[in-house]
Amino acid sequence: MGDTVRRPAGPWTPAVHALLHHLEAAGFEAAPRALGLDSEGREVVSYAVGDVVWPDQFDLLEPDAALAEIARLIRRYHDVVATFAAPDEAQWWDLSADPSGTNEVVCHNDLAPWNLVRGVDGTWTFIDWDLAAPGRRSWDLGWALLSFIPLTPDRPLDEEATVRRLRVFMEAYGAPDELDSALAGAIERGVHEAKRIRELGAQGREPFVRLRDEGHAEIWAGSAEFVTANASRWASSSRR
C-alpha cells in the first residue's frame, strides 16, 4: 500500500519488529522500518524501492565489488545485532532457524538474492525478516555463500571464479580464516532446506508444494553434495 508493505502478522512479529527497531536505532540502513500493525492486524513495514536481485537482476551481483558490498553489509548486520537484547517474551518463527540451539546472533535466515533490493541510489536493502531467529553466524553465512557466490549446481561457476568469489566474500566479511566454517554451514543449510521442502510439501503446505514440484528440494540437496565434494579444495585454494 503506497510506501508500505502490509502482511499477516504472526506470533514472531513483535520480536521481529523489536529487531528492526534496534537496527534503525543503530543506524543500519539496509533493512525496512517496522511501523507497527494496521487496523486489520497486519504488520506494516516500509517499502524498499528498487529492483529485487533474483531472478532477473542477478547480474548486479556479478562484479566482485558488488559481492564485497553485500558481504560487508552482512558483517555490519551481524555486528549490530550482537548488541540486540530480545524482549523477554520474544517468540521466533522456527521455519528456517538454526537447529543447533546456538544463540550467537539473531540470524536473518534468508540472506539471498530474492530478499535483496538494489535501490535507485545504489543502496542495498535486505527484506523479508519474518524468518529471523537466534543461531550461529555460520548458519547465515552458509546460506549467503550458496546463493550469492553461487554454490548451486544449477548455476555453476568455473573453479577459478568460485575460489575468487569465496575469497572476495570472506575477506570483505572480515573473516577469511572462517571459510571452512561457512562452507560447513552451506552444507547444513542445503540439507536442511531440501528436508524442509520435502516434509512440508508432503503435508500439503504452500509454498512448499510448489517448491517441491519445481524441483527445489533436489537443487538444495544437490548443492549440499556439490559443496561437500569441493569444500576442502576451495578452502585450500583460497588461502594461497
Q: What is the CATH number of the domain that holds 160?
A: 3.90.1200.10
Domain hosting 87: range is 49-238
Q: How far is CA 34 from the centre of its chain?
A: 19
On whether residue 119 sits in a domain, the answer given is yes
The set of residues, in sequence order, having a beta carbon less than 8 Å from that of 127 and lying 6+ positions away, is 31, 32, 48, 52, 115, 116, 117
On whether residue 69 sits in a domain, the answer given is yes
Local confidence band at 156 (pLDDT 50, 70, 90 cut-offs): confident
Task: Say if residue 126's pLDDT is above 60.
Answer: yes
Report pLDDT for 48. 95
Report pLDDT for 240. 75
Task: Say if residue 65's pLDDT is above 70.
Answer: yes
For residue 87, give the 3-state DSSP assignment. coil
Mean pLDDT of 85-90: 93
On whether residue 15 sits in a domain, the answer given is no
Mean pLDDT of 47-68: 95
pTM of the predicted protein model? 0.95
Report pLDDT for 2. 63
Local confidence band at 238 (pLDDT 50, 70, 90 cut-offs): confident
Report pLDDT for 239. 81
On whether residue 18 sits in a domain, the answer given is no
> Which residue, among 144, 205, 153, 211, has the nearest Cα to 178 in the 3D structure?
144
Report pLDDT for 31. 98
Report pLDDT for 154. 78
| Number of compact structural domains in the chain | 1
Angle between helices 159-173 and 179-202 (to 10 degrees): 100
Task: Say if residue 95's pLDDT is above 80.
Answer: yes
What strand order describes the sheet that includes 124-126? 51-52, 116-118, 124-126
On whether residue 43 sits in a domain, the answer given is no
On whether residue 31 sits in a domain, the answer given is no
On whether residue 67 sits in a domain, the answer given is yes
